[in-house]
Amino acid sequence: MGFFIETMLGGLMTGMLYSLVALGFVLIFKASGVFNFAQGAMVLVAALAMARFSEWSNAALGGDSLFLANVIGIIGAGAVMFLVAWAVERFVLRKLVNQEGATLLMVTLGIAYVLEGLGQTFFGSEIYSINVGMPKDPVIMFEGLIEGGVMINKEDFIAAALAAVLVGGLTVFFQKTAIGRALRAVADDHQAAQSVGIPLNKTWVIVWCVAGLVALVAGIIWGSKMGVQFSLVTVALRALPVVILGGLTSVPGAIVGGLIIGVGEKLSEVYLGPMVGGGIEIWFAYVMALIVLLFRPQGLFGEKIINRV
């Protein structure tokens, strides 16, 4: 019993991190109708910037204050993400107002390559580390309830809590504020949004900034877990089934989808894995997404597709 709960909690926490990356997808899709293939590259660039800026400032400060170096790192990485958002709007999206979704999709693919290349050119292509002082040691909890207690990885727990706060905040921002409404309006119809005086340019910069911020948080958490390296890009691939499962337009969907996939992955690996020789974790998420698509093409929480004939 203890082991089952342990596996499940582990899954939930990994799932929360998937949600975080998935959230980046959902935000941009909701606000510009673009499926952003560059989200993974943004995570990489954010993590690289964070790792290198804090490394450099740590060296400049003589290694005295890791905290200060990290703060400088976060500010530097934040500035980089803002620059990315501004550049994407200025040089790409502005030229593509009122274009087809497929066109915009292909453009984000291009942006992904440019970001990956530029990121590694500026910040290097080695493996770097981010140390924001996350505790690495596990703790034993619920000893009174279950025999032997449940072992929880503190780092995962803090990361999951951070992700949860961010996700909750963004949900409220999107649903309850005037700017959130303006963002949704732009996603829905460019022309109509302009007619009520919503400036497209500013709106897009805001959305890509928010998505950049989410990428930064995801980059820091994943980077401190597994090191900052090119393979961070694939984190986005793991979030893809999460987005499909939860629905592209739903922030809560991204959360629940992430949790389902996180838990499903871990439980299936532990309990089904031995039967088929293991390795389930890698493809399990995609199969789950596929099954959901068969029955609900819009995802679990997506907006219902209404067809008028």
CB 284 within 8 A of CB 269: yes
Please identify which residue in 169, 278, 279, 297 interacts with other proteins, judged by CB under 8 A.
169
Q: 56, 173, 230, 286: which one contacts other proteins (CB under 8 A)?
A: 173
Of 100 and 189, which has the nearer Cβ to other proteins? 189
Query: Binding to other proteins (CB under 8 A): which residues in 246-285?
Result: 249
Q: Minimum distance from CB of 210 to other proteins (Å)?
A: 9
Q: What is the torsion angle, in degrees rounded to the nearest 10, for the CA atoms of residue 14, residue 16, residue 20 and residue 22? A: 80
How many residues interact with other proteins (rule CB under 8 A)? 28
Residue 287: which of 231, 245, 233, 236 has the closest Cα? Answer: 245
User: Considering the rule CB under 8 A, would residue 300 count as an interface residue with other proteins?
Assistant: no
Give me 249's structure tokens. Answer: 């337009």
Alpha helices in the chain (DSSP H): 2-32, 39-60, 66-91, 101-123, 154-176, 178-188, 190-195, 200-226, 233-246, 251-267, 273-276, 280-295
Give per-residue burial for 18-29: e unless 16+ CB within 10 Å, then b: bbbbbbbbbbbb
Q: Is 165 in the site for other proteins (CB under 8 A)?
A: no
> At its nearest, how many Å lie between other proteins and the CB of residue 186?
9
Residue 178 interacts with other proteins (CB under 8 A): yes or no: yes
3-state secondary structure of 152: strand
Q: Of 179 and 287, which has the nearer Cβ to other proteins? A: 179
- Nearer to other proteins by C-beta: 134 or 205? 205
Describe the chain by its helix, strand, coil percentages, rounded to 5: 75, 5, 20
State whether residue 281 is helix, strand or coil.
Answer: helix
Kindly state whether residue 100 participates in binding other proteins, applying the rule CB under 8 A.
Answer: no
Contacts of 135 (CB under 8 A, 6+ apart): 154, 155, 158
Of 42, 152, 182, 236, the one binding other proteins (CB under 8 A) is 182
CB of 275 vs other proteins, minimal distance in Å: 43
User: At closest approach, how far in Å is the CB of 180 from other proteins?
Assistant: 8
Nearer to other proteins, 7 or 194 (CB): 194
Of residues 198 through 217, those in contact with other proteins by CB under 8 A are 198-200, 206
**Cα(181)–Cα(175) distance, integer angstroms:** 7
Q: Which is nearer to other proteins, 127 or 192 (CB)?
A: 192
Q: Kindly tell me which residue out of 100, 126, 143, 189 binds other proteins, with binding defined by CB under 8 A.
A: 189
> DSSP per residue over 59-104, as a string?
HHTTT--HHHHHHHHHHHHHHHHHHHHHHHHHHTGGGGTT--HHHH
Quick one: 136 or 181, whose CB is closer to other proteins?
181
CA separation for the pair 137, 160 (Å, rounded): 16
> Residue 99 interacts with other proteins (CB under 8 A)?
no
> Which residue, 145 or 172, has its beta carbon nearer to other proteins?
172
Given 177, 237, 279, 287, the residue binding other proteins (CB under 8 A): 177
Q: Which of 20, 193, 239, 243 binds other proteins (CB under 8 A)?
A: 193
Instruction: Kindly indicate which of the ranges 181-189, 219-227, 261-269, 288-296 contains the residues binding other proteins, using the contact rule CB under 8 A.
Output: 181-189
What CA–CA distance (Å, rounded) separates 87 from 53?
21
Token code pair at residue 306: 């209404």
Report how far residue 156's alpha carbon sits from residue 135's, in angstroms, rounded to the nearest whole number: 9
Residues interacting with other proteins, by CB under 8 A? Answer: 169, 172-173, 176-182, 184-185, 188-189, 191-200, 206, 249, 303, 306
